Every structure is written in structure tokens, then in C-alpha cells.
Amino acid sequence: MTIELITFDLDDTLWDTAPVIASAEAILRQWLTDNAPNLGSVPVEHLFTIREQVLREEPGLKHRISALRRRVLFRALQDAGYDQWQASELADEAFETFLHARHQLQIFPEVQPTLEILANHFALGVVTNGNADVRRLGLADYFKFALCAEDIGIAKPDARLFHEALQRGGATAQTAVHIGDHPGDDIAGAQQAGLRAIWFNPAGKTWDAEHAPDAEIRSLTELPGLLAGWHRQH
């Protein structure tokens, strides 16, 4: 099998997501306390309620997580008594504060050396449901494209997102493989679109979904050897 395109999930595949999101949420909350005191004391549960209201009114925002977060902040600020102009300005600044903090993450140490090796032999792409930007992280040069669910309003495991990735990568499903940590979004999604799928499983969890991945790795350092082995079989 000749592989031409490798697509990567980002969150929890190239770095741990939970710590950086928790930190970004805390930084956002502090920013709101300092800069929007009317809202700073509002319980987090209130924001969840607003989020549900916004999604009921605009279900198309479900996969546009940046736009959704901005909208929730805007609505919450208006509810707290800020006029439309103030709420809009504060929501934009608050979101940028969150987004900056969201990118203060620790990329796994093996990521860049592995991408360096792979980029010499394959086209590489990103397929993510999150809003991390590889350009902000110094990784953009490795990737031919970065496809975010919010860019087109379709999220994994929808096969259309993977089909779009194939188009951008100039590959067919038979010559592409996707790597990710999520059994549904990444493995089932990629396989439904006809790609091979490699499960990134650093914690050694037991696979309990219906269709097994085409391969499993504990570390990204295993990728070059695995792909070389597949190549030799065909």
C-alpha cells in the first residue's frame, strides 16, 4: 500500500488538552473579573445555560466553537448590563485572551522530530474539531493544510470532513491514513470515509468500540516504522 497523505488530529494527539483548557478557562474568568466586573461574579453554570440557549437558536454554531464562545460571551455581557457596543468589544477581547491562553500548551517532545521525518516522505495535514491553530504553535511548515471543523461547519466523525481533507491533500482514501486518539471521531470517522486509521493510545486503554483501528501506537515515534512496514507489504 502506497501512502501519500497522513492526517493528524491535534488535541490529545500532539499534546495534552485538558490542562491547557482548564488554565485558559481560569485566565478567562480572571480577565472577566478584572475587565467586566458586572459579569465576573456570574456563576459558570449561567454561561452553560446561555450556551444551551444560543445553540437552540443557532444550531449551526455547534461545530463553530470559536464563534459559539464569542456569542456566549456577548450574550452574557449583555445580560450583565453592558450595552451592545461594550458587550461586543469586551467579548472580542475576552475571547482573544482565552485563545492566547489556549495555545500556551506543551507539545509532546516527539512531535516535531516525527513530523520532520514524515514530511520528507508524505503530505501531512490536520483534521481537527478544536480551535488550536498550528500557525500559532510553530508547526504550520510541516503541514500542507489544516482543516478545522469550524472552518466549514462540519465535524468529525462526519465523513465529509475527511473527504475535504483528501481533496486538499490531493490524495484518495486508499492512499491516506488518519492518526488520532478518539475511537469515534478519529478512528470510526476516518474508516467510514475509506481511510486507514491509526489509534494513538499512549495510556494503553482497551479498545471497546465496534470496528478495530488498522493499527495502534503508544508514541508518535512508532509512526515512521509502522508506515514503512505497511509500504513493504505491498
What does the pLDDT look like over 101-110, one tens digit per residue? 999 999 999 9
- % of the chain surpassing 90 pLDDT: 88
Please provide the DSSP assignment of 211-222 as one string: SPPSEEESSGGG
Query: Which among 214, 209, 218 has a CA at the least distance from the CA of 227?
Result: 214
Domain endpoint, select from 79, 102, 125: 102
Say whether both 134 and 151 belong to one domain.
Answer: yes
Res 57: pLDDT: 96
Q: Are 219 and 201 in contact (CB under 8 A)?
A: no
Q: Please, which pLDDT band fits residue 49 given cuts at 50, 70 and 90?
A: very high
What is the mean pLDDT of the segment spanning 177-205? 97
Question: Whole-structure pTM over 0.75, yes or no?
Answer: yes
Residue 234 scores a pLDDT above 70: no
CATH number, domain at 27?
A: 1.20.120.1600
Say whether both 27 and 78 belong to one domain.
Answer: yes
Say whether both 136 and 198 belong to one domain.
Answer: yes
Query: Which among 76, 78, 70 has a CA at the least distance from the CA of 150?
Result: 70
Say whether both 145 and 206 belong to one domain.
Answer: yes
Q: Please, which pLDDT band fits residue 24 given cuts at 50, 70 and 90?
A: very high
Q: Length of the chain in residues, anyone?
A: 234
CATH number, domain at 11?
A: 3.40.50.1000
Say whether both 72 and 159 belong to one domain.
Answer: no
Contacts of 116 (CB under 8 A, 6+ apart): 142
Say whether both 140 and 209 belong to one domain.
Answer: yes
Res 174: pLDDT: 95
Say whether both 119 and 229 belong to one domain.
Answer: yes
Spatial distance between the Cα atoms of 218 and 197, rounded to a whole number of angstroms: 14
Say whether both 12 and 22 belong to one domain.
Answer: no
The tens digit of pLDDT for each residue in 119-144 reads 999 999 999 999 999 999 999 999 99
Q: Please, which pLDDT band fits residue 42 given cuts at 50, 70 and 90?
A: confident
Say whether both 118 and 74 belong to one domain.
Answer: no
Instruction: List the grid coordinates of 36.
Output: 467586566
Q: Please, which pLDDT band fits residue 232 given cuts at 50, 70 and 90?
A: confident
Place of cell 460571551: 73
Dihedral sign of CA atoms 158, 160, 166, 172 in order: positive
Say whether both 153 and 174 belong to one domain.
Answer: yes
Say whether both 161 and 87 belong to one domain.
Answer: no
Res 1: pLDDT: 64
Domain endpoint, select from 58, 81, 102: 102
Q: Are 169 and 144 in contact (CB under 8 A)?
A: yes
Domain ranges, residue 163: 5-16+106-233
Res 95: pLDDT: 97
Domain endpoint, select from 102, 127, 151: 102
Spatial distance between the Cα atoms of 193 and 178, rounded to a whole number of angstroms: 10
SS3 letters for 104-173? CCCECCCHHHHHHHHHCCCEEEEEECCCCCCCCCCCHHHCCEEEEHHHHCCCCCCHHHHHHHHHHHCCCH
107: amino acid identity, one letter:
I
Say whether both 160 and 172 belong to one domain.
Answer: yes
Q: Please, which pLDDT band fits residue 19 given cuts at 50, 70 and 90?
A: very high
In the chain, the number of structural domains is 2
